[in-house]
Amino acid sequence: MAEVLLFHHAQGLTEGVRAFAQELRDAGHEVHVPDLYDGEIFATTDEGVAHAQAIGFDMIQQRAAEVAAVLPETLVYAGMSLGAAPAQQLTQTRPGARGALLLHGCIPTEAFGAWPNGVPVQVHGMADDPWMAEGDLDAARALAAQVEGAELFVYPGDGHLFTDSSVPDYDAEAATLLTRRVLEFLTRLA
């Protein structure tokens, strides 16, 4: 069993994010899913990003760090889109990380320092996702080239939040494949 700290995407802690976390729990993993937006959920990614900008990305990172601080250090950090940033930052800056799952987003590693030795990572995104095209896919490729054993999975399509069953970008086939790959990753860490 792995212990996972999963951060939601820009639209908030949607039912689709909760459902994804439950799939991981159903496979025997302990999953923490904090609400970094204090209950607010947004209908579109653009609205969610506007909210994140209004409260400040630093505040989101701070809230994520506060949640992590009361949990064991030996976590797998996971994040969806906007949530990939705090997941990646904690993986790179908090000692003891067991792994990282970056879904729909990736930041250049230089933003947070060096990638920790021996910490595995999976990055997942769609090939024609306009949000990933803004540099995230390049950052994911660079991370995969830097980290021994890193896995980068690029799915056909242009959906951004394709794992969230409660939003229009949901792609059941790609989400099922991603979930299988994530569960295999977590099993290797258990």
Nearby residues of 159 by Cβ (< 8 Å), 6 or more positions away: 126, 129, 169, 170, 171, 174
Q: What is the pTM of this model?
A: 0.97
- Phi, psi (5° rounding) for residue 126? -95, 145
Residue 140 sits in a domain of what CATH number? 3.40.50.1820
Could you list the pLDDT tens digit for every one of the 190 residues in the chain? 999 999 999 999 999 999 999 999 999 999 999 999 999 999 999 999 999 999 999 999 999 999 999 999 999 999 999 999 999 999 999 999 999 999 999 999 999 999 999 999 999 999 999 999 889 999 999 999 999 989 999 999 999 999 999 999 999 999 999 999 999 999 999 7
Give the SS3 label for residue 41.
Answer: coil
Structural domain of 109:
3-189
What DSSP character marks residue 9?
A: B
| Residue position matching structure tokens 């496979």 | 27
Give how many domains the chain has, as a whole number. 1
